[in-house]
Amino acid sequence: MAFRPLHDRVLVRRVEEDTKTAGGIIIPDTAKEKPQQGEVVAVGTGTRGENGDVTPLDVREGDRILFGKWSGTEVKLDGEDLLIMKESDILGIVA
Protein backbone atom coordinates (compact mmCIF):
# COMPACT_ATOMS: atom_id res chain seq x y z
CA MET A 1 0.00 0.00 0.00
CA ALA A 2 1.61 3.30 -1.05
CA PHE A 3 1.64 6.23 1.32
CA ARG A 4 2.36 9.72 -0.05
CA PRO A 5 3.54 12.12 2.67
CA LEU A 6 2.05 15.62 2.36
CA HIS A 7 4.14 18.72 1.47
CA ASP A 8 7.48 18.69 3.37
CA ARG A 9 6.94 15.42 5.21
CA VAL A 10 9.04 12.29 4.79
CA LEU A 11 8.25 8.60 5.52
CA VAL A 12 11.22 6.92 7.23
CA ARG A 13 12.15 3.34 8.18
CA ARG A 14 14.36 3.12 11.28
CA VAL A 15 17.72 1.43 10.63
CA GLU A 16 19.24 -0.42 13.60
CA GLU A 17 22.82 0.83 14.01
CA ASP A 18 25.26 -1.99 13.26
CA THR A 19 27.61 -2.88 16.12
CA LYS A 20 30.63 -4.03 14.02
CA THR A 21 33.43 -1.47 14.25
CA ALA A 22 34.90 -1.91 10.73
CA GLY A 23 35.42 1.39 8.88
CA GLY A 24 32.31 3.43 8.21
CA ILE A 25 30.11 1.92 10.93
CA ILE A 26 28.28 3.91 13.64
CA ILE A 27 28.54 2.43 17.13
CA PRO A 28 25.11 2.35 18.86
CA ASP A 29 24.86 4.50 21.92
CA THR A 30 21.29 4.56 23.04
CA ALA A 31 22.24 5.96 26.46
CA LYS A 32 22.66 9.57 25.26
CA GLU A 33 20.26 11.57 23.07
CA LYS A 34 22.05 10.21 20.03
CA PRO A 35 20.54 10.97 16.65
CA GLN A 36 18.93 7.93 15.01
CA GLN A 37 19.64 6.38 11.63
CA GLY A 38 16.95 5.69 9.09
CA GLU A 39 16.16 5.16 5.45
CA VAL A 40 13.85 7.39 3.43
CA VAL A 41 10.86 5.37 2.16
CA ALA A 42 8.81 8.19 0.55
CA VAL A 43 8.99 12.00 0.26
CA GLY A 44 6.31 14.69 -0.02
CA THR A 45 5.96 17.00 -3.00
CA GLY A 46 8.00 19.72 -1.29
CA THR A 47 7.90 22.84 0.85
CA ARG A 48 5.20 25.39 -0.04
CA GLY A 49 6.22 29.04 -0.02
CA GLU A 50 3.95 31.82 1.15
CA ASN A 51 2.96 32.48 -2.47
CA GLY A 52 2.19 28.80 -3.15
CA ASP A 53 5.41 27.92 -5.04
CA VAL A 54 6.60 24.39 -4.23
CA THR A 55 10.31 23.71 -3.56
CA PRO A 56 11.26 20.02 -3.90
CA LEU A 57 12.87 18.40 -0.86
CA ASP A 58 16.64 17.74 -0.70
CA VAL A 59 16.28 14.14 0.53
CA ARG A 60 15.37 11.29 -1.88
CA GLU A 61 13.85 7.85 -1.56
CA GLY A 62 16.57 5.43 -0.45
CA ASP A 63 18.74 8.07 1.26
CA ARG A 64 20.26 6.98 4.56
CA ILE A 65 19.71 9.76 7.06
CA LEU A 66 20.38 10.92 10.62
CA PHE A 67 17.49 12.50 12.57
CA GLY A 68 16.88 13.74 16.10
CA LYS A 69 15.93 11.04 18.61
CA TRP A 70 12.43 12.37 19.28
CA SER A 71 11.55 13.39 15.74
CA GLY A 72 8.47 12.23 13.87
CA THR A 73 5.18 10.45 14.51
CA GLU A 74 5.00 6.65 14.63
CA VAL A 75 2.65 4.97 12.16
CA LYS A 76 2.06 1.32 11.24
CA LEU A 77 1.65 0.69 7.52
CA ASP A 78 1.15 -2.87 6.25
CA GLY A 79 2.05 -4.07 9.69
CA GLU A 80 5.42 -2.26 9.64
CA ASP A 81 6.32 0.43 12.19
CA LEU A 82 7.47 3.54 10.31
CA LEU A 83 7.95 7.24 11.09
CA ILE A 84 6.49 10.34 9.47
CA MET A 85 8.62 13.47 10.05
CA LYS A 86 9.27 16.88 8.55
CA GLU A 87 12.38 17.35 6.38
CA SER A 88 13.52 19.98 8.90
CA ASP A 89 13.90 17.16 11.50
CA ILE A 90 16.59 15.52 9.35
CA LEU A 91 20.20 16.43 10.34
CA GLY A 92 21.89 15.12 7.23
CA ILE A 93 22.51 12.30 4.75
CA VAL A 94 24.96 9.47 5.41
CA ALA A 95 26.57 8.86 2.01
Q: Is residue 33 part of the contact set for a second copy (CB under 8 A)?
A: yes
Q: Is residue 31 part of the contact set for a second copy (CB under 8 A)?
A: no
> What's the start-to-end Cα distance of the chain, in Å?
28
Amino acid identity, residue 2? A
Q: Is residue 15 part of the contact set for a second copy (CB under 8 A)?
A: no
Task: Report the distance separating Cα 12 and Cα 20, nearest Å.
Answer: 23
Q: Is residue 16 part of the contact set for a second copy (CB under 8 A)?
A: no
- Near a second copy by CB under 8 A: residue from 19, 24, 30, 31: 24
Amino acid identity, residue 58? D
Task: Report the distance separating Cα 27 and Cα 44, nearest Å.
Answer: 31
What is the contact mask toward a second copy in residues 62 to 81, using x (rule: CB under 8 A)? Answer: ----x-x----xxxxxxx--
Count of CB atoms situated within 10 Å of the CB of 53: 9
Reduce the DSSP state of residue 88 to 3 states and report it: helix
Q: Which residues bind a second copy (CB under 8 A)?
A: 1-7, 9, 11, 21, 23-27, 29, 32-35, 42, 44-45, 47-53, 55, 58-59, 66, 68, 73-79, 84, 87-88, 90-95
